[in-house]
Amino acid sequence: MSQAAIYAMAAAAVIGAGVYGLLVAGHLLRKLLAINLLGSGVFLLLVALAGRSGGAPDPVPQALVITGIVVAVSMTAFALALLDRLFRETGQARMDVADDDD
């Protein structure tokens, strides 16, 4: 089994864990962590597929991964600020559907 196949399988496992966490978690912080895990799996997959046979890796996917990491950090900081605001306003960090009997 090649090294790229091992990395691709590891990326699939990380992506699967991220999707599972996104679907199952009720708390918004856990959903945010699952989204970050999903993104990390995608970055790992891009790096695994960036290899060339017999030479240096392709620099374009590497540049995309570096840009994606910067965007992911920015998105995480913004989502944490929104989550903090939601917690201060409502006292909870869940997005449950409220049962209105009106």
How far apart are the C-alpha atoms of 50 and 58, rounded to whole Å?
Answer: 5
Report the helix count and the strand count for the chain, using DSSP H and E: 3, 0
pLDDT at position 102 is: 44
So what's the pLDDT on residue 3?
Answer: 82
- Residue with the bigger pLDDT between 24 and 54: it is 24
What's the distance, CA 54 to chain centroid?
31
Of residues 56 and 74, more confidence is placed in: 74
Tell me the pTM. 0.80
* Summary mean pLDDT of the chain: 86
CB 17 within 8 A of CB 37: yes
Residue 99 pLDDT > 60, yes or no?
A: no
Split at pLDDT 50, 70, 90, the class of 13 is very high
Higher pLDDT, 20 or 53: 20
Residue 27 three-state SS: strand
pLDDT at res. 98:
55
Enumerate domains of the chain plus CATH numbers: 3-90 (1.10.287.3510)
